A and B are shown apart, each in its own frame.
Chain A
């Protein structure tokens, strides 16, 4: 655990001036390869930039981007009547590029990007199941989100599909999903879930194992598909913020912030600096409480109950203070379009400073116990190692990426207010095992407490909310927030009279779930729970 100390010194901050230096070269190269691309002005999408591509060049764009070292960050479609708009998000050095193409609604066919970006696999299947976009050149053509709740030829996110859908009286069990099979005398299959022995979210895991060694793991998610994207349509800005806060209950602040950021950028609404500081304060509180719970959870999964109880106690105290100061333990609905809903009183601010100091003291003692417990470290070190190469190929985010050598943090590398005025240090390790993911979380708690104190000390005075003004129909915005799991991407487009036309939140779990399938290989079956906990992907945020 010694190298945790100089972890902060490892990654150098990416320069923040001179953005998009790589873009010109990238577009030139695309044109050299015969692709038809052109940059279109998109003021409200800033700081991202928008490039339109011909649909037959969709795959070629991904290929070039991949060769240029861009990270693939998501894909979503929009039903625009006669056409379907397909947008993919790429990132390089903290610059976000939106790649867009339009497809005819009657035959929405487009080359797949999965061969160049494995991370695109499930999002493309998600888009196919919900919009009917046919991605050509895919190897895996199985359904993903569609279990049996709607028929194969139905596409719920098309505007013609009724919000209530046409649900069958009884949803048929999804029994014929073609899982990958392994054959051989000593290979056996372990189906786990979607109903588990503990109270956790539903997800199915299909193991192929030889003895106790995992040969292959296949995830089957989608059990908590709630139709977030569909029910977002037609909402007001306030309604969308409330919905965004429920995309994943443990990330309510960051998702609401990302959605509000997207809406505010689309509408050109400027947020008062006190509101920004409070949003960051909420986000850091959310980060701390979730990391506390996760570290405790990892310890519990290897039967080190002492740490689980201690971290659970600290988490509970933190949540109670949330409830006392802000009216909600998880800080739900505290972030609203135009600012924040709850202010912080002067005495609460000084109390909070004391609370942060007290937590730091308790944590240092606990972290010492974790680091010096041989039996615990024996379980965590080398378990579930994710190599930097795989993490990079999958575009892993947050602590999963940072434990495997990807030192990316929006707060530092593409800073948004108020982080543009703060110094955020980003811990980064390369071992990629469960121990590294715990260690990164430990460091992140330390950093978050520092940020919390800085925010409290320099808390600006003034209003906490400005009146909301609805943007013009068709206005779109992109919200990018570093949630506690990593980068959250939120796309919003407005329709008439300030109603929402399209909302797509991309939780970091979308990028991190596939990593679990890879890091478990050659580990033993009983180590799966602790590996899973160290990733802790959100089922709800993934299934939408």
Chain B
């Protein structure tokens, strides 16, 4: 039963991620006074891409073919670790948040290699920028996670959520720091404004898009889908770690239904925050990333310090 639920949760991740992307797009369109495409448009796009024959560059190696599958698989595996509607599921008991970061790193590693595989200038440029960002973002993310781990005395997400639920609503300065840091990292890792612009057509400014410029057809669909799942994983991570209330602690149907509703609303609200921030700010200069991510790192560090100074004794 528990395993069934775990599989169901993962399927919800895979199936729900395009809806979240569509919802963000819908919100952004309305914030810009435009008519929005249907919420189901991302599904239609994926369907369309899966039906298309991919075009492959002459110089592509096996790596180029394999990367989309690795990226998709690693992202789906990452999604299994994160509790969506219920805690205490076997998949999340097996792996902790460091494994989650590892899965994302694996996916990125292959995407970066694939970006350089063809040998175009844009692919290499995107790959080098992606590595620059991730080398700064990963420490910040791990640091934020460790701050949580120090409070909850675990790096397991399920247990950490339990700990927060048990303690009730306590104002912890360390959590606020970690929340902001994690949100900043999430924006950077998902290639959202102000770090990257997912909607741009300007090759020279691209990061994520530059790496996948040569992909088409079902491979592009897999990569885009993986990107949507990753965005949802980060959103769920933020929603369920910092605001876990509502998540199902038992596997009763009512609890699960309530958990589903809760995460649905939490994600919808998070998307509003993302859409508003993407509307009011422009993309920053490439060399500001280090300041931005350095700031995220600093916040997580402050979170950890404030935990040691203010909370550790209690």
Contacts and interface: CB of A to CB of B under 8 A. Distances in A.
Nearest to A380: B282
Contacts of B194: 303, 375
Interface stretch (B31-39, B56-64, B81-89, B170-178): B31-39
B205 interface: yes
Contacts of A302: 282-283
A353 B295 CA distance: 51
Contact of B202 (A309, A310, A375, A529): A529
A188 interface: yes
Given A303-B194, A375-B194, A525 B281 contact: no
A302 B286 CA distance: 11
B1 interface: no
A212 B121 CA distance: 12
Interface string B167-185: 0000000000000000000
A52 interface: no
A306 B31 contact: yes
A299 B201 CA distance: 14
A321 to B, nearest CB: 19
A434 B133 CA distance: 26
B33 A310 contact: yes
Given A188-B121, A378-B285, A306 B201 contact: no
Contact of B204 (A192, A303, A309, A373): A192
A375 B282 contact: yes
A61 B279 CA distance: 55
Contacts of A197: 201-203, 213
B131 interface: no
Interface in A190-204: 190-192, 196-198
Contacts of A305: 28, 32, 199, 279
Name, among B124, B213, B283, the residue most crowded by chain A CB atoms within 10 Å (CB to CB).
Answer: B283
A376 B28 CA distance: 18
B311 to A, nearest CB: 34
A191 B123 CA distance: 12
Contacts of A20: none
B193 interface: yes
B279 A301 contact: no
Interface in A316-375: 373, 375
A373 B279 CA distance: 11
Contacts of B199: 303, 305
B285 A191 contact: no
Interface in B205-250: 205, 213
Nearest to A196: B203
B197 interface: yes
A346 B44 CA distance: 50
Interface residues of B, number: 30
B143 interface: no
B200 interface: yes
Contacts of A191: 121
Contact of A306 (B32, B200, B286): B32
B94 interface: no
Contacts of A529: 202, 204-205
B202 A198 contact: yes
A89 to B, nearest CB: 35
B283 A198 contact: no
B287 A299 contact: no
A413 interface: no
Contacts of B107: none
Nearest to B209: A197
Interface in A369-395: 373, 375-376, 378-379, 383
Nearest to A373: B282
A111 B15 CA distance: 71
B125 interface: yes
A303 B285 contact: no
Given A309-B32, A313-B33, A529-B202, A303 B279 contact: no
Given A190-B121, A198-B201, A529-B205, A306 B280 contact: yes
Interface of B: 28, 31-34, 121-122, 124-125, 193-194, 197, 199-205, 213, 279-288
Given A299-B282, A301-B205, 8 more contacts: A191-B121, A192-B204, A196-B203, A301-B202, A379-B283, A524-B286, A525-B125, A526-B286
8 contacts: A192-B203, A196-B203, A306-B280, A376-B282, A379-B283, A383-B285, A526-B285, A526-B286
